[in-house]
Structure 1
Protein backbone atom coordinates (compact mmCIF):
# COMPACT_ATOMS: atom_id res chain seq x y z
CA UNK A 1 0.00 0.00 0.00
CA UNK A 2 1.34 3.41 -0.95
CA UNK A 3 0.75 5.65 2.06
CA UNK A 4 1.65 8.83 0.15
CA UNK A 5 4.26 9.86 2.70
CA UNK A 6 7.13 10.54 0.33
CA UNK A 7 9.21 13.56 1.45
CA UNK A 8 6.84 14.38 4.30
CA UNK A 9 8.54 15.36 7.56
CA UNK A 10 7.62 13.80 10.91
CA UNK A 11 8.86 14.60 14.39
CA UNK A 12 9.37 11.46 16.48
CA UNK A 13 10.31 11.93 20.12
CA UNK A 14 12.46 9.08 21.36
CA UNK A 15 12.77 8.26 17.67
CA UNK A 16 16.08 6.36 17.60
CA UNK A 17 15.43 3.28 19.76
CA UNK A 18 12.65 0.85 20.60
CA UNK A 19 9.19 1.72 19.36
CA UNK A 20 10.32 5.18 18.25
CA UNK A 21 13.21 3.71 16.31
CA UNK A 22 10.87 1.27 14.55
CA UNK A 23 8.58 4.18 13.62
CA UNK A 24 11.50 6.18 12.22
CA UNK A 25 12.71 3.20 10.18
CA UNK A 26 9.20 2.57 8.88
CA UNK A 27 8.90 6.19 7.83
CA UNK A 28 12.17 5.92 5.92
CA UNK A 29 10.86 2.83 4.13
CA UNK A 30 7.80 4.86 3.08
CA UNK A 31 10.01 7.63 1.69
CA UNK A 32 9.25 10.01 4.54
CA UNK A 33 11.75 12.02 6.58
CA UNK A 34 11.95 11.27 10.31
CA UNK A 35 13.26 13.93 12.67
CA UNK A 36 14.40 11.96 15.71
CA UNK A 37 14.43 13.89 18.95
CA UNK A 38 16.66 11.48 20.82
CA UNK A 39 20.21 11.59 22.25
CA UNK A 40 20.99 7.98 21.21
CA UNK A 41 23.68 8.70 18.64
CA UNK A 42 24.61 5.16 17.50
CA UNK A 43 21.01 4.10 16.82
CA UNK A 44 20.16 7.42 15.16
CA UNK A 45 23.21 7.15 12.91
CA UNK A 46 22.01 3.74 11.70
CA UNK A 47 18.62 5.20 10.76
CA UNK A 48 20.22 8.17 9.01
CA UNK A 49 22.38 5.73 7.06
CA UNK A 50 19.26 3.71 6.15
CA UNK A 51 17.68 6.96 4.92
CA UNK A 52 20.80 7.77 2.89
CA UNK A 53 21.10 10.97 4.88
CA UNK A 54 17.49 12.05 4.44
CA UNK A 55 16.73 12.04 8.17
CA UNK A 56 17.72 14.19 11.12
CA UNK A 57 18.72 13.53 14.70
CA UNK A 58 18.22 16.22 17.32
CA UNK A 59 20.21 14.87 20.29
CA UNK A 60 18.36 16.53 23.16
CA UNK A 61 16.09 15.42 25.96
CA UNK A 62 12.75 17.17 26.21
CA UNK A 63 12.81 18.45 29.76
CA UNK A 64 11.65 22.01 29.07
CA UNK A 65 9.48 24.05 26.70
CA UNK A 66 12.62 25.70 25.36
CA UNK A 67 14.07 22.34 24.29
CA UNK A 68 10.84 21.40 22.52
CA UNK A 69 10.78 24.73 20.71
CA UNK A 70 14.42 24.27 19.72
CA UNK A 71 13.61 20.87 18.21
CA UNK A 72 10.64 22.18 16.25
CA UNK A 73 12.55 25.22 15.02
CA UNK A 74 15.49 23.08 13.88
CA UNK A 75 13.19 20.72 11.96
CA UNK A 76 11.59 23.68 10.18
CA UNK A 77 14.97 25.28 9.49
CA UNK A 78 16.29 22.01 8.01
CA UNK A 79 13.29 20.86 5.98
CA UNK A 80 10.92 23.81 5.80
CA UNK A 81 7.88 21.90 7.02
CA UNK A 82 6.41 19.49 9.57
CA UNK A 83 3.66 17.11 8.47
CA UNK A 84 3.09 15.15 11.64
CA UNK A 85 4.15 14.43 15.18
CA UNK A 86 4.68 11.17 17.04
CA UNK A 87 4.84 11.73 20.79
CA UNK A 88 6.65 8.66 22.07
CA UNK A 89 9.51 9.36 24.49
CA UNK A 90 9.14 8.24 28.09
CA UNK A 91 10.04 5.57 30.61
CA UNK A 92 8.25 3.44 33.16
CA UNK A 93 10.32 4.63 36.09
CA UNK A 94 8.62 2.79 38.96
CA UNK A 95 7.61 5.80 41.08
CA UNK A 96 4.79 4.34 43.14
CA UNK A 97 2.58 5.46 46.01
CA UNK A 98 4.39 3.57 48.74
CA UNK A 99 7.91 3.65 47.34
CA UNK A 100 7.85 7.17 45.91
CA UNK A 101 7.62 10.73 47.17
CA UNK A 102 5.69 13.81 46.09
CA UNK A 103 8.84 15.17 44.49
CA UNK A 104 9.59 11.95 42.60
CA UNK A 105 5.98 11.70 41.49
CA UNK A 106 5.96 15.25 40.12
CA UNK A 107 9.22 14.60 38.27
CA UNK A 108 7.91 11.34 36.78
CA UNK A 109 4.71 12.95 35.49
CA UNK A 110 6.66 15.90 34.14
CA UNK A 111 9.21 13.89 32.15
CA UNK A 112 6.62 11.47 30.75
CA UNK A 113 3.85 13.94 29.91
CA UNK A 114 4.76 17.58 29.50
CA UNK A 115 6.83 17.24 26.34
CA UNK A 116 3.79 15.75 24.56
CA UNK A 117 2.07 19.12 25.03
CA UNK A 118 5.21 21.17 24.36
CA UNK A 119 5.92 19.56 20.99
CA UNK A 120 2.29 19.70 19.87
CA UNK A 121 2.07 23.36 20.87
CA UNK A 122 5.17 24.47 18.97
CA UNK A 123 4.50 22.25 15.94
CA UNK A 124 0.87 23.36 15.66
CA UNK A 125 1.33 26.18 13.10
CA UNK A 126 3.01 23.72 10.74
CA UNK A 127 0.40 21.03 11.41
CA UNK A 128 -2.34 23.54 10.58
CA UNK A 129 -0.61 24.54 7.35
CA UNK A 130 -0.20 20.95 6.16
CA UNK A 131 -3.30 19.36 7.77
CA UNK A 132 -0.99 17.10 9.69
CA UNK A 133 -1.59 14.35 12.20
CA UNK A 134 -0.57 13.62 15.78
CA UNK A 135 -0.02 10.13 17.18
CA UNK A 136 0.41 9.78 20.93
CA UNK A 137 2.05 6.58 22.16
CA UNK A 138 0.38 5.71 25.47
CA UNK A 139 0.21 2.34 27.25
CA UNK A 140 -2.29 -0.32 28.26
CA UNK A 141 -1.25 0.41 31.84
CA UNK A 142 -3.28 3.63 31.57
CA UNK A 143 -6.46 1.54 31.58
CA UNK A 144 -5.40 -1.61 33.47
CA UNK A 145 -3.06 -0.29 36.15
CA UNK A 146 0.21 -2.03 36.93
CA UNK A 147 1.24 -1.27 40.48
CA UNK A 148 4.14 0.76 41.85
CA UNK A 149 4.25 3.21 38.95
CA UNK A 150 1.92 6.08 39.84
CA UNK A 151 3.85 8.75 37.96
CA UNK A 152 4.09 6.88 34.67
CA UNK A 153 0.45 5.78 34.83
CA UNK A 154 -0.69 9.34 35.51
CA UNK A 155 1.17 10.53 32.43
CA UNK A 156 -0.14 7.72 30.23
CA UNK A 157 -3.73 8.33 31.31
CA UNK A 158 -3.35 12.03 30.65
CA UNK A 159 -2.02 11.28 27.17
CA UNK A 160 -5.26 9.46 26.38
CA UNK A 161 -7.30 12.38 27.66
CA UNK A 162 -5.24 14.85 25.63
CA UNK A 163 -5.76 12.71 22.53
CA UNK A 164 -9.52 13.23 22.74
CA UNK A 165 -9.17 16.87 23.80
CA UNK A 166 -6.85 17.76 20.91
CA UNK A 167 -8.96 15.79 18.44
CA UNK A 168 -11.88 18.05 19.36
CA UNK A 169 -9.91 21.31 19.44
CA UNK A 170 -8.20 20.65 16.12
CA UNK A 171 -11.25 19.56 14.12
CA UNK A 172 -11.50 22.95 12.36
CA UNK A 173 -7.99 22.46 10.95
CA UNK A 174 -8.51 18.86 9.77
CA UNK A 175 -5.73 17.73 12.11
CA UNK A 176 -6.29 14.17 13.25
CA UNK A 177 -5.15 13.02 16.70
CA UNK A 178 -5.03 9.39 17.79
CA UNK A 179 -3.35 7.28 20.47
CA UNK A 180 -1.81 3.82 20.38
CA UNK A 181 -1.77 1.64 23.47
CA UNK A 182 0.94 -1.03 23.37
CA UNK A 183 0.99 -3.72 26.03
CA UNK A 184 4.01 -6.03 26.09
CA UNK A 185 6.60 -4.96 23.51
CA UNK A 186 10.15 -6.34 23.72
CA UNK A 187 12.14 -3.13 23.39
CA UNK A 188 15.69 -2.60 24.74
CA UNK A 189 14.14 -0.89 27.78
CA UNK A 190 11.84 -3.87 28.31
CA UNK A 191 14.76 -6.27 27.97
CA UNK A 192 16.62 -4.36 30.67
CA UNK A 193 13.58 -4.63 32.95
CA UNK A 194 13.29 -8.39 32.34
CA UNK A 195 16.92 -8.81 33.37
CA UNK A 196 16.07 -7.40 36.80
CA UNK A 197 14.26 -10.65 37.70
CA UNK A 198 16.08 -13.66 39.25
CA UNK A 199 15.03 -15.87 36.30
CA UNK A 200 14.63 -13.55 33.29
CA UNK A 201 13.85 -16.24 30.72
CA UNK A 202 11.21 -17.80 32.95
CA UNK A 203 9.61 -14.40 33.57
CA UNK A 204 9.59 -13.58 29.86
CA UNK A 205 7.93 -16.92 29.05
CA UNK A 206 5.33 -16.31 31.77
CA UNK A 207 4.40 -12.89 30.37
CA UNK A 208 4.37 -14.07 26.76
CA UNK A 209 2.11 -16.94 27.72
CA UNK A 210 -0.56 -14.50 28.89
CA UNK A 211 -0.85 -12.77 25.51
CA UNK A 212 -3.87 -14.33 23.75
CA UNK A 213 -2.85 -13.91 20.10
CA UNK A 214 0.07 -16.21 19.37
CA UNK A 215 1.37 -16.31 22.95
CA UNK A 216 4.04 -13.82 21.94
CA UNK A 217 4.95 -10.24 22.53
CA UNK A 218 4.04 -7.46 20.13
CA UNK A 219 6.96 -6.29 18.02
CA UNK A 220 8.04 -2.68 17.76
CA UNK A 221 7.43 -2.97 14.02
CA UNK A 222 3.76 -3.82 14.64
CA UNK A 223 3.32 -0.68 16.73
CA UNK A 224 5.16 1.29 14.05
CA UNK A 225 2.88 0.00 11.29
CA UNK A 226 -0.17 1.36 13.10
CA UNK A 227 1.51 4.69 13.85
CA UNK A 228 2.59 5.20 10.24
CA UNK A 229 -0.87 4.29 8.95
CA UNK A 230 -2.42 6.84 11.33
CA UNK A 231 -0.01 9.51 10.09
CA UNK A 232 -1.02 8.85 6.49
CA UNK A 233 -4.01 10.09 4.53
CA UNK A 234 -5.20 6.49 4.34
CA UNK A 235 -6.46 7.13 7.87
CA UNK A 236 -8.14 10.35 6.77
CA UNK A 237 -11.36 9.82 8.75
CA UNK A 238 -9.88 8.42 11.96
CA UNK A 239 -9.49 10.81 14.89
CA UNK A 240 -9.86 10.77 18.65
CA UNK A 241 -9.29 7.03 18.82
CA UNK A 242 -7.44 4.88 21.34
CA UNK A 243 -6.10 1.93 19.36
CA UNK A 244 -4.83 -1.21 21.07
CA UNK A 245 -2.01 -3.06 19.30
CA UNK A 246 -1.45 -5.77 21.89
CA UNK A 247 -2.41 -9.23 20.66
CA UNK A 248 -5.64 -9.03 22.64
CA UNK A 249 -3.78 -8.61 25.95
CA UNK A 250 -5.93 -5.83 27.35
CA UNK A 251 -9.42 -6.98 26.44
CA UNK A 252 -9.45 -10.72 25.81
CA UNK A 253 -9.62 -13.35 28.53
CA UNK A 254 -6.01 -14.23 29.27
CA UNK A 255 -6.98 -17.80 30.14
CA UNK A 256 -7.53 -18.39 26.40
Structure 2
Protein backbone atom coordinates (compact mmCIF):
# COMPACT_ATOMS: atom_id res chain seq x y z
CA UNK A 1 0.00 0.00 0.00
CA UNK A 2 1.52 3.29 -1.08
CA UNK A 3 1.31 6.13 1.38
CA UNK A 4 1.26 9.53 -0.23
CA UNK A 5 3.78 11.99 1.15
CA UNK A 6 1.98 15.01 2.52
CA UNK A 7 3.48 18.28 3.66
CA UNK A 8 1.54 18.96 6.82
CA UNK A 9 3.73 21.61 8.38
CA UNK A 10 1.42 24.49 9.25
CA UNK A 11 2.18 27.95 8.02
CA UNK A 12 3.72 29.75 10.97
CA UNK A 13 3.46 33.37 11.86
CA UNK A 14 6.49 35.26 10.56
CA UNK A 15 7.78 38.52 12.01
CA UNK A 16 4.67 39.23 14.00
CA UNK A 17 2.11 37.95 16.44
CA UNK A 18 0.60 34.48 16.02
CA UNK A 19 -2.55 34.34 13.92
CA UNK A 20 -5.91 34.15 15.73
CA UNK A 21 -6.46 30.62 17.06
CA UNK A 22 -9.41 28.49 16.03
CA UNK A 23 -12.40 28.69 18.33
CA UNK A 24 -12.30 24.97 19.03
CA UNK A 25 -9.71 22.22 18.82
CA UNK A 26 -10.25 18.47 18.97
CA UNK A 27 -7.55 16.76 21.03
CA UNK A 28 -6.81 13.19 19.96
CA UNK A 29 -5.14 12.00 23.18
CA UNK A 30 -3.68 8.66 21.90
CA UNK A 31 -3.72 5.32 23.69
CA UNK A 32 -0.39 5.66 25.48
CA UNK A 33 -1.19 9.12 26.77
CA UNK A 34 -4.64 8.04 27.90
CA UNK A 35 -3.44 4.83 29.59
CA UNK A 36 0.09 5.60 30.80
CA UNK A 37 0.81 9.33 30.63
CA UNK A 38 -2.38 11.26 31.42
CA UNK A 39 -0.22 14.19 32.54
CA UNK A 40 0.84 14.66 28.93
CA UNK A 41 -2.81 15.03 28.00
CA UNK A 42 -3.37 17.54 30.81
CA UNK A 43 -0.36 19.58 29.74
CA UNK A 44 -1.53 19.47 26.11
CA UNK A 45 -4.97 20.78 27.08
CA UNK A 46 -3.35 23.55 29.13
CA UNK A 47 -1.14 24.64 26.23
CA UNK A 48 -3.93 24.62 23.67
CA UNK A 49 -6.24 26.56 25.99
CA UNK A 50 -3.51 29.19 26.41
CA UNK A 51 -3.90 29.98 22.72
CA UNK A 52 -7.53 30.89 23.41
CA UNK A 53 -9.05 27.79 21.84
CA UNK A 54 -11.61 25.55 23.51
CA UNK A 55 -10.43 21.93 23.76
CA UNK A 56 -12.80 19.09 22.98
CA UNK A 57 -12.04 15.40 23.59
CA UNK A 58 -14.93 13.43 22.04
CA UNK A 59 -16.26 10.57 24.11
CA UNK A 60 -15.48 7.23 22.52
CA UNK A 61 -12.14 8.03 20.90
CA UNK A 62 -9.93 4.97 20.97
CA UNK A 63 -6.92 3.79 18.96
CA UNK A 64 -5.77 5.39 15.70
CA UNK A 65 -5.06 1.92 14.32
CA UNK A 66 -1.30 2.32 13.94
CA UNK A 67 -0.31 -0.90 15.79
CA UNK A 68 -2.67 -2.89 13.58
CA UNK A 69 -1.45 -1.21 10.40
CA UNK A 70 2.24 -1.61 11.24
CA UNK A 71 1.80 -5.30 12.01
CA UNK A 72 0.17 -6.11 8.69
CA UNK A 73 -3.53 -5.84 9.51
CA UNK A 74 -4.81 -2.99 7.30
CA UNK A 75 -8.36 -4.35 7.26
CA UNK A 76 -8.54 -4.29 11.04
CA UNK A 77 -6.97 -0.82 11.12
CA UNK A 78 -9.60 0.32 8.62
CA UNK A 79 -12.41 -0.99 10.82
CA UNK A 80 -10.95 0.66 13.90
CA UNK A 81 -10.69 4.02 12.16
CA UNK A 82 -14.08 3.84 10.51
CA UNK A 83 -15.64 3.92 13.98
CA UNK A 84 -13.55 7.00 14.87
CA UNK A 85 -14.29 9.16 11.85
CA UNK A 86 -17.75 10.23 12.97
CA UNK A 87 -16.20 11.50 16.22
CA UNK A 88 -13.66 13.55 14.28
CA UNK A 89 -16.12 15.34 12.02
CA UNK A 90 -16.54 19.08 11.69
CA UNK A 91 -14.05 21.79 10.87
CA UNK A 92 -11.98 22.09 14.07
CA UNK A 93 -8.27 21.27 13.89
CA UNK A 94 -7.37 17.84 15.27
CA UNK A 95 -4.28 18.14 17.48
CA UNK A 96 -2.29 15.05 18.41
CA UNK A 97 0.50 15.01 21.05
CA UNK A 98 2.29 12.23 19.15
CA UNK A 99 4.02 12.19 15.80
CA UNK A 100 3.19 8.51 15.36
CA UNK A 101 -0.56 8.88 15.72
CA UNK A 102 -0.58 12.17 13.82
CA UNK A 103 1.20 10.43 10.93
CA UNK A 104 -1.36 7.63 10.98
CA UNK A 105 -4.31 10.01 10.85
CA UNK A 106 -2.74 12.41 8.38
CA UNK A 107 -0.90 10.15 5.97
CA UNK A 108 -2.32 6.63 6.27
CA UNK A 109 -6.01 7.19 6.98
CA UNK A 110 -6.79 8.58 3.48
CA UNK A 111 -5.25 5.48 1.86
CA UNK A 112 -7.39 2.94 3.70
CA UNK A 113 -10.60 3.35 1.69
CA UNK A 114 -9.58 3.06 -1.99
CA UNK A 115 -12.82 1.34 -3.03
CA UNK A 116 -15.25 3.56 -1.15
CA UNK A 117 -15.29 7.12 -2.56
CA UNK A 118 -17.51 8.46 0.23
CA UNK A 119 -15.32 7.13 3.06
CA UNK A 120 -12.16 8.10 1.20
CA UNK A 121 -13.40 11.67 0.84
CA UNK A 122 -14.38 11.74 4.50
CA UNK A 123 -10.95 10.43 5.52
CA UNK A 124 -9.18 12.99 3.34
CA UNK A 125 -11.11 15.85 4.91
CA UNK A 126 -10.20 14.63 8.38
CA UNK A 127 -6.54 14.17 7.44
CA UNK A 128 -6.22 17.76 6.28
CA UNK A 129 -7.20 18.99 9.76
CA UNK A 130 -4.62 16.93 11.66
CA UNK A 131 -1.65 18.66 13.29
CA UNK A 132 0.92 17.32 15.70
CA UNK A 133 1.02 19.37 18.92
CA UNK A 134 4.31 21.15 18.27
CA UNK A 135 3.11 22.20 14.82
CA UNK A 136 -0.08 23.67 16.25
CA UNK A 137 1.78 25.50 19.02
CA UNK A 138 4.43 26.65 16.58
CA UNK A 139 1.72 28.51 14.72
CA UNK A 140 -0.53 29.76 17.52
CA UNK A 141 1.76 29.98 20.55
CA UNK A 142 0.53 28.77 23.91
CA UNK A 143 3.72 27.92 25.78
CA UNK A 144 4.28 29.31 29.26
CA UNK A 145 6.90 32.09 29.22
CA UNK A 146 10.09 31.49 31.15
CA UNK A 147 12.88 28.95 31.37
CA UNK A 148 11.29 25.99 33.14
CA UNK A 149 14.22 23.62 32.70
CA UNK A 150 17.43 24.75 34.44
CA UNK A 151 20.73 23.36 33.25
CA UNK A 152 21.15 21.53 29.96
CA UNK A 153 18.34 19.99 27.90
CA UNK A 154 18.56 17.59 24.95
CA UNK A 155 15.78 16.78 22.51
CA UNK A 156 15.11 13.36 20.97
CA UNK A 157 13.50 13.27 17.53
CA UNK A 158 10.71 10.71 17.31
CA UNK A 159 10.82 8.78 14.04
CA UNK A 160 7.31 9.50 12.77
CA UNK A 161 7.41 13.20 13.59
CA UNK A 162 10.79 13.68 11.93
CA UNK A 163 10.60 11.27 9.00
CA UNK A 164 6.89 10.71 8.58
CA UNK A 165 5.75 14.31 9.01
CA UNK A 166 9.01 16.02 8.09
CA UNK A 167 9.00 18.14 11.25
CA UNK A 168 12.34 18.92 12.86
CA UNK A 169 12.31 22.59 13.74
CA UNK A 170 8.99 23.29 15.51
CA UNK A 171 9.78 21.27 18.67
CA UNK A 172 13.25 22.78 18.89
CA UNK A 173 12.05 26.35 18.48
CA UNK A 174 9.44 25.85 21.17
CA UNK A 175 11.88 24.14 23.51
CA UNK A 176 14.45 26.90 23.12
CA UNK A 177 12.03 29.20 24.92
CA UNK A 178 11.48 26.79 27.79
CA UNK A 179 14.98 25.72 28.77
CA UNK A 180 18.07 27.48 30.05
CA UNK A 181 20.28 25.79 27.47
CA UNK A 182 19.45 23.29 24.75
CA UNK A 183 22.22 21.04 23.47
CA UNK A 184 22.11 18.92 20.31
CA UNK A 185 23.13 15.43 21.34
CA UNK A 186 24.82 13.03 18.95
CA UNK A 187 22.27 10.91 17.11
CA UNK A 188 19.28 12.97 18.19
CA UNK A 189 17.52 11.78 15.04
CA UNK A 190 18.21 8.08 15.64
CA UNK A 191 15.46 5.74 16.80
CA UNK A 192 15.29 5.02 20.53
CA UNK A 193 14.44 1.38 19.79
CA UNK A 194 10.76 1.43 20.68
CA UNK A 195 8.96 1.09 17.37
CA UNK A 196 5.85 -0.40 18.95
CA UNK A 197 6.09 -4.19 18.66
CA UNK A 198 9.69 -3.88 17.41
CA UNK A 199 10.86 -3.62 21.01
CA UNK A 200 9.09 -6.91 21.78
CA UNK A 201 10.08 -8.79 18.63
CA UNK A 202 13.73 -7.69 18.67
CA UNK A 203 14.55 -6.94 22.31
CA UNK A 204 18.33 -7.21 21.95
CA UNK A 205 18.44 -4.75 19.07
CA UNK A 206 15.96 -2.48 20.81
CA UNK A 207 18.00 -2.40 24.02
CA UNK A 208 21.20 -1.67 22.09
CA UNK A 209 19.52 1.27 20.36
CA UNK A 210 18.18 2.50 23.69
CA UNK A 211 21.61 2.27 25.34
CA UNK A 212 23.08 4.30 22.50
CA UNK A 213 20.40 6.96 22.88
CA UNK A 214 20.79 7.33 26.64
CA UNK A 215 24.57 7.22 26.34
CA UNK A 216 24.44 10.15 23.93
CA UNK A 217 22.32 12.16 26.36
CA UNK A 218 24.69 11.40 29.23
CA UNK A 219 27.72 12.30 27.11
CA UNK A 220 26.08 15.64 26.33
CA UNK A 221 25.79 16.29 30.06
CA UNK A 222 22.02 16.53 29.91
CA UNK A 223 19.96 17.38 32.97
CA UNK A 224 16.73 16.99 31.01
CA UNK A 225 15.71 14.90 28.03
CA UNK A 226 12.60 15.86 26.07
CA UNK A 227 10.69 13.85 23.47
CA UNK A 228 7.40 14.49 21.69
CA UNK A 229 6.02 10.96 21.48
CA UNK A 230 4.69 8.85 24.34
CA UNK A 231 6.16 5.68 22.83
CA UNK A 232 9.63 7.19 23.06
CA UNK A 233 8.88 8.39 26.59
CA UNK A 234 7.91 4.85 27.60
CA UNK A 235 11.05 3.33 26.08
CA UNK A 236 13.55 5.94 27.23
CA UNK A 237 11.98 6.20 30.68
CA UNK A 238 12.47 2.49 31.29
CA UNK A 239 16.08 2.75 30.17
CA UNK A 240 16.84 5.73 32.39
CA UNK A 241 15.30 3.97 35.36
CA UNK A 242 17.32 0.79 34.83
CA UNK A 243 20.55 2.76 34.57
CA UNK A 244 19.75 4.81 37.64
CA UNK A 245 20.33 7.91 35.54
CA UNK A 246 19.75 11.35 37.01
CA UNK A 247 18.50 12.69 33.68
CA UNK A 248 14.87 13.78 33.97
CA UNK A 249 12.57 12.88 31.12
CA UNK A 250 9.65 14.99 29.92
CA UNK A 251 7.20 15.00 27.07
CA UNK A 252 7.44 18.21 25.08
CA UNK A 253 3.99 19.26 26.31
CA UNK A 254 5.13 19.03 29.93
CA UNK A 255 8.36 20.88 29.21
CA UNK A 256 6.47 23.74 27.56
CA UNK A 257 3.68 23.92 30.15
CA UNK A 258 6.12 24.08 33.06
CA UNK A 259 6.13 22.80 36.64
CA UNK A 260 3.18 24.86 37.85
CA UNK A 261 0.81 23.70 35.12
CA UNK A 262 -1.33 20.56 35.10
CA UNK A 263 0.48 17.46 33.98
CA UNK A 264 3.93 18.03 35.48
CA UNK A 265 5.21 14.55 36.42
CA UNK A 266 6.03 15.40 40.04
CA UNK A 267 3.35 14.92 42.67
CA UNK A 268 4.62 17.84 44.75
CA UNK A 269 2.35 20.86 45.09
CA UNK A 270 3.27 23.73 42.74
CA UNK A 271 4.92 25.87 45.39
CA UNK A 272 7.35 23.02 46.21
CA UNK A 273 8.28 22.18 42.64
CA UNK A 274 11.54 23.12 41.03
CA UNK A 275 11.41 26.30 38.94
TM (norm. structure 1) is 0.35
Q: Does 1 or 2 have the higher relative contact order (CA < 8 Å, sep 6+)?
A: 2
